Amino acid sequence: MSTMLILGLETSCDETAAAVVADGREILSNVVASQATVHQKYGGVVPEIASRRHLETINAVIDQALAEAGIGFADLAAFAVTYGPGLVGALLIGVSTAKTLAYAAGKPLLAVNHVDAHVAANYLEHEVTFPAVCLVASGGHTSLLYLRRRGEAELLGATRDDAAGEAFDKIARILQLGYPGGPAVEREAVRGNPEAYLFPRAKALQDGNFDFSFSGLKSSVINTVHNLRQHGEPLSTADVAASFQAAVVDILVEKTALAADKTAAQTVLLSGGVAANTLLRRRLAEVLSAADRLLLCPRPELCTDNAAMVACAGYDLYRQKVFAGLDLNASPGLDIFQQ
C-alpha cells in the first residue's frame, strides 16, 4: 500500500484502545473499550482490576480496529504502543501485546511516551503552525510545553502536586458525584454558581513561573464540604462544583496565557482529558483571541486516552527511524520527554 499504516495500542490506565492511522493523520479506526463502569463503585481506578480487564479485552479491541480499517496485519508498517508513564500493570499488557505482534509480523516496534501522544492528538485534526505552546491537562499530568517544531518540545512548567484531572476525580468523590470525576463535576457545575465559594488560586505560585499546584485548592474544597456537613449546614454540591471548576480553569488559563506571552507563540494547543472541559475551552479561547492568538484542540473523544494519538505519535518516531527493541519494558514513571 502507498500509505503508511500504523496500529496504535493504548493501555496506560483504564481504557483499552487500538487504532489504525494512515500517514500520521487519517484515522481509519479508533476503538476504545472503557472501564469506567467497572471502577465507578470504587470511586477511582483500581490498578489490579484495570490490568486484568486489559488482558481480557485487548485482543478483541485489536480485531475490531483492524476490521473497521478494512486491513490485516500484513498491511501495517509498524506497531506503536504507550510504554509510559502510567500504571505499570496496565502498561505491561499493551507493551507485551505490541512486542508479540511486532515479532510475529516482522515489523518495527515504536515506543510512545503517553504525554507526547496527547500532544500529537492535535496533529490528527489541525495543521499546526510552530512555534506553539501546548497545555497537557489530564488525570496524571498538567504540563506546559513549548513546541519549536513537531516532535521537539521544551518543558515550561508542570504540576508540583496533584494533576488537574486528579483533582477533579477527588472532588467528585467527596461530593459523591461518581467516576470519572471530570465529566461528573462539569455536569453538576452547570446548575451551580461559580462565585458561591472563593477557592484559592495557588497564589504562592503566581510569581512568573509556569508551574501548577492544585493541592491547596483540593484541600480547601474538601475542608469546606466537611465543615458544612459537620455543622449540619446546607450544602449545594452544584455551587461547590461550579466554584471548584472555575478555580481550576482560572489557574490553567492564566498560566497558559502567560506562557504564550513569554514565548511569543501565536498558536496554543490544548490536550489531555481535562481539555474536553467546555468551560476551559471557552475561557482559554476567549483570552487567547483577545491577544490575537489561536487555540487549537482535538475533539473531546481525542482528548481522553485513545490509540489514534498513539499511532500518530508513532508515525513521527517511524519517520525519524526511532525503533524500539523487543526488550522494551513498561516505564510507569517515564519522564515527559524521555524516549
CATH number for the domain formed by residue range(s) 5-119+303-319: 3.30.420.40
Q: Report the interhelical angle of 88-105 vs 47-69 (nearest 10°).
A: 30
161-164: long-range contacts at Cβ-Cβ below 8 A with a sequence spacing of 24 or more?
161/213, 161/214, 161/215, 162/213, 162/214, 162/215, 162/218, 163/137, 163/138, 163/139, 163/214, 164/137, 164/138, 164/212, 164/214, 164/248, 164/252, 164/274
Q: Enumerate the domain spans of the chain.
A: 5-119+303-319, 126-297
The residue type at 336: I
List strands edge to edge, sheet with 142-149.
152-158, 142-149, 132-137, 267-271, 294-296
The pLDDT, as a whole number, for residue 204 is: 43
pLDDT recorded at residue 44: 80
Q: Which residues contact 37 (CB under 8 A, 6 or more apart)?
A: none
Query: What's the pLDDT score for residue 35?
Result: 86
In 3D space, the residue among 268, 244, 52 whose CA is nearest the CA of residue 144 turns out to be: 268
CATH architecture of 126-297: 2-Layer Sandwich (3.30)
| Phi, psi torsion values for 81, nearest 5 degrees | -145, 140
The whole-angstrom separation of Cα 146 and Cα 149 is 9
Helix extents (H) in the chain: 36-39, 47-69, 88-105, 114-120, 164-174, 181-189, 215-230, 237-263, 278-290, 300-303, 308-319
One pLDDT digit (tens) per residue for the chain, 339 residues: 468 999 999 999 989 999 999 999 999 999 999 888 888 878 788 889 989 999 999 999 999 999 999 999 999 999 999 999 999 999 999 999 999 999 999 999 999 999 999 999 999 999 999 999 999 998 888 999 999 998 888 999 998 888 999 999 999 999 999 888 999 999 999 999 999 999 998 754 556 688 999 999 999 999 999 999 999 999 999 999 999 999 999 999 999 999 999 999 999 999 999 999 999 999 999 999 999 999 999 999 999 999 999 999 999 999 999 999 999 999 988 876 555
